[in-house]
Structure 1
Amino acid sequence: MMDMGIQSEELLQFYDIIEKGSIYSVYQPIVSMQDGLVMGYEALIRGPKDSNFHSPLTMFQFAEQHGELYKLEQLAREKAIQGSILEHPQQLLFINISSHVLYDPGFVPGKTLEILQKHGLRPSNVVFEITERTSIEDFSLAQKILAHYRKQGYRIAIDDAGAGYSSMQAIAELQPDFIKIDRSLIQDIHINKVKEYILETFVTFAQKMNISLIAEGIEHVDELTKLARLGVHYAQGFLLGRPQPDAATIQDSLKMLIWQQRKVQGGHMTWAIGDLKTPVKVFDKKVPISEVADYFKKNQESVGAVIVSEEVPVGLMMRDRLFQQLAGQYAFSLFWNRTVDSVMDDSPLIVDEFISVEQVSQMATSRSIHHLYDLVIITSSGKMAGIASIRSILESITNVRMESARVANPLTGLPGNLQINRELNKRIHENKPFHVVYADLDYFKWFNDRFGFQKGDQLIQYTADIMQQAISVCGNPLDFVGHVGGDDFIAISSTDEPELLCQEMIRRFEMGVKMFYEDEDWEYVWDRSGNKVKSEGVTLSLSLVVCSCESPISLEHISQTAAVLKKKAKAYPGSIYYFQNIG
């Protein structure tokens, strides 16, 4: 047992820390996996450096044991906001709160809001990160409390996802805006296939629920590379930046790596939102409302204007909303000489130019009905670049889908021969190294005859899926997957490791093909000529043409080389790839 005198001394020391407010915040950057820029910071509390309570774990455990967790967390929130290093209004501040504190009567929105306003921040800048120190006991009450906060603009994150059952239940019950993936799932993910598959499931789930994923504890470049390829939205860890009192600077090499490894959008046609940007009138946040109103009166076709501070967008002023505010009996005289930042929408939808149009569409249409048709602000490296209207976004999606449907393979939805030839010609004209993988199923006719056309179609769709999955994991942004026809596919990639890509395709194919056999056994199959061949079933033959582009190449050259390689691969029993360098 601990000596009572020591325990009493520690308690006095703890209360002295609370009374003097002698804790402080450090901030760890959270980085976007779209562009490598800092999207926000997690505030992490530290005790006095010469104290037994310097470690946050020791300090919070002590507070919980002595019933003083609320007091400590309240002080921690205040310190996190006071020392905030947010560099522009779109960055977020992640503040840790224990689930037990949610039920404390003193945990009221007004106190946090008061501190935020004092330091020039808004609820839309804050994400409450519910930590796993204690599990949530009453989910219905927690839902009501958090709904109250959400209405004011705060967002919610669930910490330590994947570390235990309680965090998974919290995700299901609370439907957070962010899910933070625990370090235990991130460590060595580049060499652990089980972790990779678990995270793939998280990514798919997050896409369906419009939730953003943050991978925690990234310490190695290989981990970052894998996470970017899998489509995780944000990253955090010592590799990107250690907790510190000042704003972080992300290494250019890591930004470039993120940009190069971003998850490809399958083989379908996609546009970035930057392709749709159009110019818009911009006002400084300190111009008088009268100036903005005069502009709208003189420019009847203008539906909105962007409000900026030093080229960074900080708000949106929609025409109709401004005139509604000026329409009251005394509103004109009240508002006319105020600055526009007092009436603007300070939480508009602001997106980076490289985000896909489909993703922006989901974000825009999930806004409240009052803001559904507001302009979407587009930035380039954090600076104002232009806007897109909801109409232009929806029209572009419709056009892309119509074009894709017109030329895509009807079974797999992958681009057909017209788009394949366009892509190959584009790569040849770019004169940069690329690789072409032709994929062909062996003994597919035998499989179709034995198991029926429906099973055959399912196997074709499965092959299309594994091709796209392998490209997502081992390929680069803007890589391409197409369906030549029948059981023939093509992938066009600029990866530095084309053989690894082929190995991943074969691994994924072999892992799942047996599920199509319905537990049947055989010793022989029949090839397309009707010859009896000893085989365990359908296999995958890959022809890898490595185009160095050091000398001129043509479509015919690529096609002829692939045909020779295909003949070699088909002569070998089992799934295999052969490769050759050209150009």
Structure 2
Amino acid sequence: MEIEADPLTFGNAEPFEPPIPESVAAPLKAVLAQLQGGCAVLLVKAEIPQASHWLNTARLEAPILLGPLESLRLEAWPLLENAWAVALKLPQPLEEPLVALQIELARQALQQRLQAEWQQHGSEGILPFSILPITSLFWGEEQQNHLAELNALLEVMVQGRLGVHFHPIVNLREARVAGYEALIRMPSQPEIKHTGELLKAVQRGSLIAWFDLACLERCFQEAGKQGLQQLLFVNLDAEGIMNLIAQDRPLLQRVYDNGLSPRQIVIEITERQAVQDFPGLLREIKRLRDDGFRIAVDDAGSGYNSLEIIAELLPDFIKLDRSLVRSLNSRGESRALVAALVRFAAQIGVKTLGEGVETPSELTVLVNLGVQYAQGYLFGRPQETFHGVSRTIRELIQTQVRRQEHLQTGCSLPVGALKQSGLALTAGTPLLEAVRRFAKNDGLTSIVVMQGGEVCGVLMRQTLENQLEMARQAQAESFLANETVERWMESKFVTIPEHFALDEAISHLTYRNAVSLETDIVIVNAAGAYRGVLPVRLLLEAALQQNGNRTHHTSALTGLPDRLVLEQALQERLDANQSAGLVRVDIAGLQVYNRDYGIAFGDALIVQVAERLRRASREHGAPTDQIFHLGGDNFVLLTQSAKVTALCYALAGDGDVAEMGPPNEAKPAGWVKSEKTSKRLHVVGLTLRRTGGAKPTQSAPPPSDARTALQVLEQLLRELQRRPDLSWAVDKLPSLLPKTA
């Protein structure tokens, strides 16, 4: 049997010690085994004896709490008295692009952690360790081209130098900041010249998930440090969402560690890459929802660009892209699309948020279309600290909300409430200046031409663009330099006073043959002075909305508006500090009447009471009176405070509601007029706001909001119904006279 020769002996010579002692060879063999197994190795060398004794396995194998490296596993063992080896269990093969940068990131993170622990140990000065990575790497040419930038990015991520700015998101119903979107800002350094190109390199290098997690960590840190109370919108790519499950520290824990709540966090799904595993994405989103996070879908794209997929995601917010929001007031097709998206979102229970709002006209249209939230430069630039919106913007939103509530309840609205400020140029202005103004403002639909303080013409954007195109085709642009606006304006334009109601304005337009949807109406005040413009398209849209909603808030029986319209009208009077008073009317015994003789006869009685209220208002009320039918026998007349007492006296003291009983064919045998069929009214009044020196008669201050006022009025009516000796009262019931002996 042939015996294999010992490679370390020569013939019969005595064996000699190998050149590397076994105590060293074993650790080196472990290093080689790790390298052959596809791992990278970091050699950690202590430069001073104290550091050698301080290093141990537990310190070196502790997880690296950095988003991109949390899935990395470390295994450490001693090599020499002052050197250790740390194997990096990489989640992908060494041949993958950018593995070298991942190893460098791990080296920097380990060095940073050891430095922090060394200083906590009580030592000062420079870290007495050197860390050297060893592995064989394969680089692609494209990765080499971006190596310097990516290396700089990894250094920024490790050192936590990513900047965070906050952009306000405004509630368009309450005119307040509802939250902020956190935006990452790269620090200024030579290697990072173009952030956009850098992010493309990040995408090519499959670093999206890592970069997103590092950004999230910084956003949470800054928001927590500043004590955020509102919502925080943060961007996370679909790939990043799919990668969350592989992290040792859950996203929920990251939020709590920074003093925030998951209910504050809105994860805005971006789409730098198409969603490959959509069912998997839905599962991860469900996990996030279960943890309390909210979801927003950014502008649609290749990943989830259909309404069907948005319906499957069921986000809390849909963000309308800037391309849709831009120039909404002048682009009817964009308004129609946004309106459809708002209706779709409402049907599936999702809120809409308009991005990139830059002009008051864009904000106005968003409010009118029912979009609930908005963000953009109109509310201010992103800043390092939280900031609100200006008083001017708040007042603009509040004005538009009130206007929209008017339309929703079908109330009459003057065209002045719809007007836009527009732009006016004097006659003689060069035409090229008007062209420049149109080019600078996409939302500008027309320019009014003034002469001697009066409007002499209107220059429409669409008409001018068509004429300029004809000049270009005829190669006649050279003469435009000497042209002025009045030679190109339309001298036959429509003028409407700002106090006209919408219906009145529409009737006025029907007599004009040259009016189209793209025409702008000139709005003037009572003296004929220019006040603004109003596109015909917006006027028609508002009129249709008003008329369509009017039927929803009007009683089919009496033709009077309902409670919602009453609350709005009353609140507007109170807010404007105008004189206001209420008269509440109730038909005593109507339920008994309906039971004995049928609802049809009861309805006829209700119609008669409505007519009686109209007559009383004409004879004893004010021209601005409004009558409301709240259902059944409940009527309220909104009047001036000084008219309340006279109206209550007239309504309650004018005999019975009707000398009418049921028709003869409905009367039972032996029927006679009785207490049941001789109806009377219960009437109460409430004085809320007086413009003169007299004070209301209540012992307590009158209510300052509509709903409270109606509750007080209802309570007063119930008290009156318990007093058979009274049929009316104003502000309070008179005290009962003491009984004599």
- Structure 2 length as normaliser, TM-score? 0.37
Which structure's CA Rg is the greater one? Answer: 2
- Structure 1 length as normaliser, TM-score? 0.47
Bigger relative contact order, structure 1 or 2 (CA pairs below 8 A, ≥6 apart): 1
